[in-house]
Chain A
Amino acid sequence: MSNPKHLNPLAVVFNVFKSFKNAFYFIVTFSVLAISDGFFKYVLLGILGLAVLFIILGIISWRRFTYEVTPDQIHIKHGIFIRKDRYISRNRIQSIDLTQGIIHRPFGLTKVEIETAGNDRDVDANLSAVRYNEGIRIQEMLKENRNLATEEKVAQEPEYPKRTVNNRDLLIAGATSGSIGVIIGLFGLVFSQIENLIPDHVYDVTTRWLLAQALESLVIFALMIAIILWGLGILGSLIKYGKFQIIRYEKELFITRGLLEKKQMTIPLKRIQAVGIEENFIRQPFGLATIYVVIAGGEIGTTADAHTLLFPVIRKRKVEEFLNDILPEYNQVPHHYKRVPVRALPYYLVRSLLIPIILLILAFIFTPTIWIYLTVLFLLFLTLGYARYRTAGYHVDDQFLTVRFRVFNKETILIPKKRIQAIEVIHHFLHRKQELASFKVSILSKQSGRQIWIKELEQQDNDYLIKWLER
């Protein structure tokens, strides 16, 4: 068990891939320069030589890479020219993720990513290819709550609370995902262009007829594109969240997902900074929501996902039930919120309308014909401003601050008091006159901090919240 091991030889392939990826720009620029000078033969030869070099280096680095897992730590030795010895102690490990890519799966292999806190890539450990059983064994061995023997734990597994997503829900999730918003937007744009074209050609019947034909095909074309995009969105979420399963162990959450690339994620509970419930504007009317967690420490390379999904789609009224099962620490989703006062409404409206108003003014000056579309835009943003005002609110109890807010999607975020990094109260002279102030709470998220605002809250509510934090 404790003698150093090599990765599966398939790791060589990954090494070579990686070398090529790193050298990609170099190769491309060099090739382009050389080919234009008519040295094609040499370029080919060069690439071939490079490939041989990479393969040799890949094999050597595979030979040199050994890892050794003991109950207390993982020890990794690697490096061709500069030898590196790395010890990561079990306590420092934040999470161990297993990912099976499409190359891994036929060979029964998996990638193991061991993460520590902080964004320093160099302190993380990456085993690019090991047998799946071995991956599981490493995960079990380095797990935080390894108080039970491994076999015992496997035997007990069915008793842990578990949730899965069925295909119907997954389809709904895909169909209502944010990408449909983009499509509607595109649609709107296309239609506005079409209508804009018509008046210019009204008097010429032939052109008009031709244009109508063109319009028809244009509309069909746009419709088709929209449907295809929508379908892709659904397919995307099926692939990404297919076979989704979340299990709650004593001290961690365990998520498996993915049809093509199977991903297993372990989220230690102590790493969770806050829990959020997001209802995007398409899902909200259907009473659907998404549950996510804000966690500290970086999942390497994935800067795009600001938060980690706990469940892709769920009925709003089932949220509490879900949290009760899976994350009872966060099951207090409040029903009543202290909202911002009516005198805050003008601020919300003005803020939302700033951009449309500027556009409208510009439109009146330069192209008065399109003002009608901008009026629609204006009304949309007016609604958004009002919706933001309606949504903004908070609730506190002993342990939690819950903030409800909307940027575009309605979000409810539950923040434990001990996870609050700092709070700020911000007001300008108009605010002071009206006894209003904006409230800002900072929590830790993957990359850096995340700030959550309640704009124009009652001054005395702010005081109350400060006192609450001090307590």
Chain B
Amino acid sequence: MRQPPKQRIAKDAIKAWRLTALILLIIPIALTGASWYLMYTFNFLVFWIPIVLSIITLLDLIITPFFIPKWRWRRWRYEVVDEEIYIQHGILIVTQTLIPMIRIQHVDTKQGPILSKYKLATLTITTAATTHEIPALPENEATELRDLISELARVEQDDV
């Protein structure tokens, strides 16, 4: 099997992802709460629905914030060389992507409120046919990488 790429993304990515996951947990918790409420007040649901929902929510509560970010971070690697960008990600299903530098149309960095809290940024690489992301790089590293890639990609392109 081919060697994985060398660079890792920022370790703070774990914290950022954990925070995101915790915020998103509001949805399953609200749903479970609603199902219990409906069952008690209106006898609206069969008893096992709230129970199943509770179990799922509990598992979600443990796995998504505390395990998945860690596993995800461990797998996430990238490498930028003169000719190409090499990316690896995925927990159970691992994807390794190779993007030839001359095919790159543009690179963007973007940052939402959570990433900005940890001074991180996401790098988006766009070819004419595909879009790829390197999530959660340290801000300055993302900017540097963006400039580097746009420099390297600035070769004479023959038609899309």
Contacts and interface: CB of A to CB of B under 8 A. Distances in A.
Contacts of B159: 270-271, 296
B98 A421 contact: no
Contacts of B102: 418
B83 to A, nearest CB: 7
A422 B95 contact: no
A442 B98 contact: no
A247 B102 CA distance: 32
Nearest to B128: A444
A428 interface: yes
B117 interface: no
A120 to B, nearest CB: 14
Nearest to A272: B159
A429 B71 CA distance: 14
B59 interface: no
Interface string A449-471: 11000000001001100100110
Nearest to B129: A449
B129 A445 contact: yes
A443 interface: yes
Contact of B96 (A424, A429, A450): A424
Contacts of A427: 93-94
A463 B1 contact: yes
Contacts of A422: 97-100, 103, 127, 129-130, 132
A444 B131 CA distance: 12
A296 B159 CA distance: 9
A424 B129 contact: no
B97 A424 contact: yes
Interface in A413-454: 418, 420-429, 432, 435, 442-445, 448-450
Interface in B56-75: none
Contact of A443 (B93, B98, B129): B129
B50 to A, nearest CB: 26
A413 to B, nearest CB: 14
A449 B130 contact: yes
Given A270-B159, A296-B160, A422-B103, A450 B129 contact: yes
A297 B160 contact: yes
Given A418-B158, A463-B1, A425 B83 contact: no
Contact of A423 (B90, B92, B97): B97
Contacts of B98: 422-425, 466, 469-470
Contacts of A423: 97-98
Given A444-B160, A462-B2, A425 B127 contact: no
Interface of A: 117, 270-271, 273, 296-297, 418, 420-429, 432, 435, 442-445, 448-450, 459, 462-463, 466, 469-470
17 contacts: A270-B158, A270-B159, A296-B160, A297-B160, A420-B100, A422-B97, A422-B98, A422-B129, A425-B2, A425-B95, A427-B93, A429-B92, A435-B1, A449-B127, A459-B1, A469-B98, A470-B83
The 5 closest A-B pairs by CB, nearest first: A449-B129, A421-B129, A425-B96, A421-B127, A428-B93
Interface of B: 1-2, 83-84, 90, 92-100, 102-103, 127-130, 132, 158-160
